[in-house]
Amino acid sequence: MENFQDIYLKNKSNLLGYKYSNIDLFKQKLLNKIKIDSKYFNKDESIKHLDKGFLNNFIFKFDKLKNNIIHAENNNIENSILNISDTTLYELTNFKKNKIIFNTLYDNLDLIDKLILKDKKAISSDFILNLNTIFLNSGFEIIIQNNDSQLLTINHEYSDKAIFAKNYFRIGKNVSITIIENINSKNKSYNNLLNFFDLDEGSNVNHYVLHNSNEDSLSKVTSFINCSEKTSFNQCVFNISSSNTRNHHYGNLNGQNSEINLRGIFFGAREQIIDNKTEINHFFPNCSSNQTYKGILGENAKASYLSKTYVKDIAQKTQGYQLSKGIILSDKASFYSKPELKIYADDVKCSHGSTISSFDKNQIFYLRSRGLSKKLSKSFLIKSFYNDIIDSLDNKNYVNDVRVNADNWIKKNLN
């Protein structure tokens, strides 16, 4: 297999920012960091639980880059829609120019440079994010104007491509927005998506993600969230994909009276590898956070969930909560959970918990004694297991999609 230096040089002219020496120099530094050997993987907590074989499945095929944006209007649709096809086509429906500003990274050196510098510290120790920067070939900026209310749906559909995207969401003051991201690859592809969210004072963001890709589509999604004073960021990641996936999400509370809630539900079967990580940093007083992930694993699936809450010494009156739960459907399935607290303030309320087990035999017996079959009893227990997360969401269409896809997985994978 070609090494990453060779792959980069071969595809360099198709990548974003390739003309600019400062960006190329930074990419070369990142390439020098990468060592494809077992020691590198075992040392890096970010990727040690990933399937190392995914490196052999990279698809380095890029279209000639062009800025192709299609504007469409549909007055029957109540929300704005962004359809993304591979790296070259953006279809915008119901985008009101006085409310939503949309820019792509193509030929936008200032924005490319800004986004690369924005995550420079984080990517230095994260192999997946280093790849995102080195092979950057897609991305956009969305600006939501002050005092606006929006529903935005983003549909990612990729085919036979490797997508390395940086997407930047600038949320103005006193904005209320729900962003639904559907990652729906039905063909062989590799998706490495990095989202930045910057929330200005008084804003509220609901970010709902639905992974539903086939087993030939590898997906790595990362978020960096920065919350100003009196803001709220609520995320739910629902992963029903048949492929190996990674979800890493990091939040910073940079102003008082703000909150970040990161929740996730994931299903795994066959030989799937599912890597989850969340981290929230409390830098100011009177803020709250919640990190809750729940997983259902069958056959030979392997999953991990690393969660961390950091509380700075000045961040008094912090409330931080972490919870990880897993249901194991097979003796060969495994779930690794590691909650972590780093607290340097003394007036806080923080807790963490982790529970991983198979079905409670007494509960199964009780349901079967009421006339339910064994499979139906297990189905009820699984649905009740994650239902508290679903009930906390406020978008009916997303909730319905989650329930339908979960029901289909249960029917297919439950014995």
Any idea where the domains of the chain sit in the sequence? 4-413
Give the count of beta carbons closer than 10 Å to the beta carbon of residue 350: 17
Please report which confidence band the pLDDT of residue 76 belongs to, taking 50, 70 and 90 as the band edges.
Answer: low
Query: For residue 240, which of 397, 407, 58 has the smallest C-alpha distance?
Result: 407
d(CA 361, CA 246): 32
d(CA 238, CA 25): 37
The Cα-based distances of 55 to 59, 60, 176 in angstroms read 10, 11, 40
pLDDT tens-place string over residues 61-75: 555 555 567 777 666
Amino acid at 25: L
CB 67, CB 106: distance < 8 Å: yes
Q: Is pLDDT at 1 greater than 50 in this prediction? A: no
CB 317, CB 286: distance < 8 Å: yes
> What is the reported pLDDT for 6?
80
> What is the reported pLDDT for 96?
79
pLDDT tens-place string over residues 201-247: 999 999 999 999 888 888 899 999 999 999 999 999 999 999 889 99
pLDDT tens-place string over residues 350-402: 999 989 989 888 888 888 888 889 899 999 999 999 999 999 999 999 999 99
Q: Is pLDDT at 47 greater than 90 in this prediction? A: no
* Main-chain phi, psi angles of 377, to 5 degrees: -60, -45
Amino acid at 261: N
* Main-chain phi, psi angles of 315, to 5 degrees: -85, 60
d(CA 375, CA 105): 49
Q: For helices 21-33 and 4-11, what crossing angle results, to 10°?
A: 160
Instruction: Give the three-class secondary structure for 390.
Output: helix
Q: Is pLDDT at 36 greater than 60 in this prediction? A: no
CB 193, CB 168: distance < 8 Å: no
pLDDT tens-place string over residues 281-315: 999 999 999 999 999 999 999 999 999 999 999 99
Q: What is 322-364 written as a DSSP string?
A: EEEEEEE-STT-EEEEEEEEEE--SSEEEEEEEEEE---HHHH
Q: Is pLDDT at 34 greater than 80 in this prediction? A: no
* Main-chain phi, psi angles of 364, to 5 degrees: -60, -45
Least confident span in 169-173, 190-194, 215-219, 351-355: 215-219
Q: For helices 21-33 and 109-118, what crossing angle results, to 10°?
A: 30
Residue for token digits 């989202």? 195
pLDDT tens-place string over residues 108-128: 878 888 888 776 665 567 888
Q: Is pLDDT at 84 greater than 50 in this prediction? A: yes
